[in-house]
Chain A
Amino acid sequence: MSLDRKLLLGLSLLLVALLGLGIFAGAYDLDAASLWNALLGRGERLEQFLVWEVRIPRLLLAAIVGGGLAITGAATQGLFRNPLAEPTLIGVTSGAMLFAVIMLVLSAVLLPAMPKWVQQAGVSIAAFVGALSTTAIVYRLAAGRSRLNVATMLLAGIAVAALAGAITGLLIYQSSDSQLRDITFWTLGSLGGANWTQVVVALPVVVIGGYFLCRDALALNAFLLGEKEAEKLGFRVDRIKRRVIIWTALLVGVCISLTGLIGFVGLIIPHLLRLWLGTDYRRLLLFSGLLGASFLLAADTLARTVVAPAELPIGILTALVGAPFFLWLLLRERSKNFLSL
């Protein structure tokens, strides 16, 4: 069996195992028999509800969002030929944040009579619109009438992110106590509100987007040589860049609009695999998606069990678990100079 097949099988098994583990673990104690009954739709009503409406959607959403964030992380690193690149750099995160905060602050004015779930959907939709429109602005700034220059895009992304951050800060200053709390918890990210609607919205976007990103893996490999060289090899560089940016904005936009900001997954997972596999985007993209799904699933399982019956913000856990592990890897592999892409 080739390395790729082994890895594909291994990572898939890991994901399935973590899903299995996740369905077992939780603040509510379910033994194997009642879990099985609940899965089959028998037994106590509360336990069925718990398994089907609370645990399973949350596990699935964690896997989907983790996969989406990791695969777009890998794709942006390839696009910018920069190991520190993140979707943040194309403005998608700051845009989502800005629009979400606008909605959180203004929802009392805009949708006062609406029930809270409409307001919450409003925040998700606003975050998504913000993600896409900010990316579009950054793209326009960098592309102008001529071709897209990724270095310009990177700088434009940083500038737009700073601007959006400043406006966000201004809104936070104006916000009331309870709005401030909502904003703080939004920026820490949470999968606590997971439901089937969110799963149904996120799954197709991440799977389809992931598929199209993987199709451009060869092009991203060619980008490593430089854009001119990639063009000489027959890749339509501008079109591919635009495609990668659009899918990235869509995927990240959907993910963070549903869960709030979850950092670190997009940065760390692709690098982890790079240490093992070297930089070959044909592997890196797909496997980043799978490993990212497992990583966030594991982190979220911890988040909802370690301090049960309360729970930890997921953003804290991804960094807390991820950062030391990543540093350890970094020190171990220091000699190999892997950061040179």
Chain B
Amino acid sequence: MISELLINAFLVTIMLSIAIALIKTRTVIFTVILTSAYSLVAALMFITLDAVDVAFTEASVGAGISTILFLAAMAYLPKKEEESISSEFIPALSCIILGGILIWCSFDLPEIGKLTAPIHQHIVPEYIRGSKEDIGIPNIVTSVLASYRGYDTFGETIVVFTAGVAVLGLLEKKNSTKKNKSQPKQKISKNA
């Protein structure tokens, strides 16, 4: 129990310091690297909550591939972020108020892992039973993700597909307009 508390305190401290460093830094590459580090610590956090699948996703997607994509996109950004001119008082105040409300609400949450919590009473017993007997898969997360909630995962896949196609479309369109612009110029120069 005490070791769990120590680990959680350690992780939260690292997360907080990364978050503060993220606010302070104005260099884009540091922002990208710190975001990646934050994702890794979040992945560790998910492991302490016994959510291994989520931790795996956070580590591979949050810390891995999105960092690479950020770095690839970073090439088109200025190296330094500009200092903000507007006052930081109102954003800070709204963050503190919202954070306070969330912390206040968290006192009403049931204890983590408590069996009598509403979320463990509703449909979860059926999933735990059905995953073994009806589906025959030891990993309940997979059976919920792919079978019980197959529609949702289908939607997720289509979202990934659509997002990918949309970004490709945006970049391709710019590329082709650039090409089209350069072609007439060549023709003119040949005529001249």
The answer to whether A and B belong to the same complex is no
Q: Which residues of B contact A (CB under 8 A)?
A: none
